[in-house]
Structure 1
Amino acid sequence: MTKEQIIDAVKEMSVLELNELVKAIEEEFGVSAAAPVAAAGAAAGAEAEEEQTEFDVVLEDAGASKIKVVKAVREITGLGLKDAKELVDNAPGTIKEGVAKEEADQMKEQLEETGAKIELK
């Protein structure tokens, strides 16, 4: 399998499938993805002087109305019921990455109306 084939396969995965893949790789090779993520965060902080144009929509807490939150997550992401429910049940977790400011604000508002706690990063 070529590197391009692997990248294409990863592009087709849902957020939950990617999360499971990372966990499996960590277990298989005895490594942690936490250090690179921290380094990426530090690099992003260095670029914070520029105005941020893309945001990650992160579900911090589903609140009391999980069913409403699951429905909203499904609507926003296009995930199936099972994947959306897993994402909500396993909060905190990223709902969408690399979203324009206006779209991210709209998603945040829509999800907060259901009682969810959302953070834009």
Structure 2
Amino acid sequence: MSTATDEILEKLKSLTLLEASELVKQIEEAFGVSAAAPVGGMMMMGGPAAAAAEPDEVQTEFSVILEEVPADKKIAILKEVRAITGLGLKEAKDLVEAAPKAVKEAIAKEAAEELKKQLEAVGAKIAIK
């Protein structure tokens, strides 16, 4: 280290907390920087790769989406949708014909997987989102 940096370091060691706080404010103003810790922490340092590594919020609610209804399987799918949703014949028919459409929303993952199996067993194309 140079003697200039050694002298600065020694002076910094002798500052009180109040003086150090004032020094930080002056440095921020003089150089247009912030001494605040970044909100994302590692995101600032690692860029997109670090952002992808951080865990996202864990999804707890899922929707079962009826993506596609083959014409030859429509009646079987309609019956299954009625059994799952409790809808009347007309409402269930409207739902099936409006595909892609949510059959059930905001349910647990296990329940969503079970409904997907039931609907796929009768020929529907299902997505869980």
Distance in 2 separating the partners of 1:87 and 1:110: 17
Match of 1:59 among 49, 53, 66: 66
The residue type equivalent to 1:58 in the other structure is I
Partner of 2:97: 89
- TM-score with structure 1 setting the length: 0.59
Deviation, 1:65, is 0.5
State the AA in 2 paired with 1:106.
E
Q: Show the counterpart of 1:112.
A: 120
Deviations 1:21-50 (A, max 9, x none): xxxxxxxxxxxxxxxxxxxxxxxxxxx812
Post-superposition, which runs of at least 4 consecutive aligned residues in structure 1 deviate over 4 A? Answer: none
- 1:78 paired with 2:78, answer no
| Correspondence for 1:101 | 109
What's the TM-score, normalizing by structure 2?
0.55
Query: Counterpart of 2:29?
Result: none
Identity of aligned residues (%): 55
Partner SS for 1:72: helix
Give the superposition deviation at 1:90. 1.2
Amino acid aligned to 1:82: K
CA RMSD of aligned residues (A): 1.2
Structure 1 counterpart of 2:77: 69
2:57 is the alignment partner of 1:50? yes
What is the number of equivalent residue pairs in this alignment?
A: 74
Structure 2 SS opposite 1:49: coil
**Structure 1 residue runs without a partner (length 5+):** 1-47
- The code of the aligned residue for 1:116 comes to A
Counterpart of 1:85, as a letter, is K
Equivalent residue of 1:95, what SS? strand
Which has the greater radius of gyration? 2
Unpaired segments ≥5 residues, structure 2: 1-54
How far apart are the structure 1 equivalents of 2:102 and 2:111? 15
